[in-house]
Amino acid sequence: MDWFGHASISFTASPSPLTLLKKDGTTTDLLKVCEKATPPCQLNPLLFNGHVQTMWTAVKEHGPPVYYRRKIFDADHSTYHGTFAVDFVTKPHEAHDETLPSRTAYFAEDDFARIGSDDSKPMLFVLHGLSGGSHEIYLRRAIWPLVTSGAWEICVVNARGCANSEITSGVFFNARATWDLRQTVKWARKTFPNRPLFGVGFSLGANILTNYVGEEGANCVFKAAISVGNPFNLELSNKALQRTFLGKQVYQRVMGSNLKKLVEGHKDSVIKYTKLNLERIENLTYLYEFDREVQTVSWGYPTENAYYRDASSVDALLAIKTPFFAIAAEDDPIAVQEAIPYEEFKQNPYTVLCTTSLGGHLSWFEIGGGRWHAHPICNFLNAMVSEIDLQAIKPLADGKASDSEFATHFDGVRRKLLFLKD
Q: Is 386 a catalytic residue?
A: no
For the chain, domain boundaries: 6-232+322-392, 234-311
Share the mean pLDDT of the chain: 94
Q: Which of 56-60, 262-266, 286-290, 394-398 comes out lowest in average pLDDT? A: 394-398
Alpha carbon distance 252, 289 (integer Å): 9
Q: Which of 14-18, 60-64, 287-291 comes out lowest in average pLDDT? A: 60-64
Q: What mean pLDDT do residues 280-293 have? A: 96
Q: Is 128 a catalytic residue?
A: no
Q: What mean pLDDT do residues 329-347 have? A: 98
Q: What are the pLDDT digits (tens) for 98-155?
A: 999 999 999 999 999 999 999 999 999 999 999 999 999 999 999 999 999 999 999 9
* Nearest partner of 348 among 250, 217, 254, judged by Cα: 217
Please provide the distance, in angstroms rounded to a whole number, between the alpha carbons at the two ends of the chain: 53
Q: Looking at 310, 315, 331, 332, which residue is catalytic? A: 332
Alpha carbon distance 414, 422 (integer Å): 16
Q: What mean pLDDT do residues 25-38 have? A: 98
CB-CB neighbours of 26 under 10 Å: 9
Beta-strand ranges (E) seen in 96-191 are 104-106, 123-127, 153-157
* Nearest partner of 322 among 156, 202, 198, judged by Cα: 198
Q: Is 81 a catalytic residue?
A: no
Q: Which fold has domain 6-232+322-392?
A: Rossmann fold (3.40.50)
> What residues are paired with 151 via a beta bridge?
none
Q: What are the pLDDT digits (tens) for 230-245?
A: 999 999 999 999 999 9
Q: Looking at 131, 203, 312, 363, which residue is catalytic? A: 203
Alpha carbon distance 205, 373 (integer Å): 16
What order do you get walking across the sheet with 123-127 strand by strand? 9-13, 351-356, 324-329, 222-228, 197-202, 123-127, 153-157, 83-90, 67-74, 104-106
Q: Residue 401: its pLDDT value, please?
A: 46
* Nearest partner of 189 among 223, 213, 218, 217, judged by Cα: 223
Q: What mean pLDDT do residues 338-354 have? A: 98
**Residue 407: pLDDT over 70:** no
Q: Looking at 128, 135, 266, 361, which residue is catalytic? A: 361
Q: Residue 420: its pLDDT value, please?
A: 59
Alpha carbon distance 168, 111 (integer Å): 24
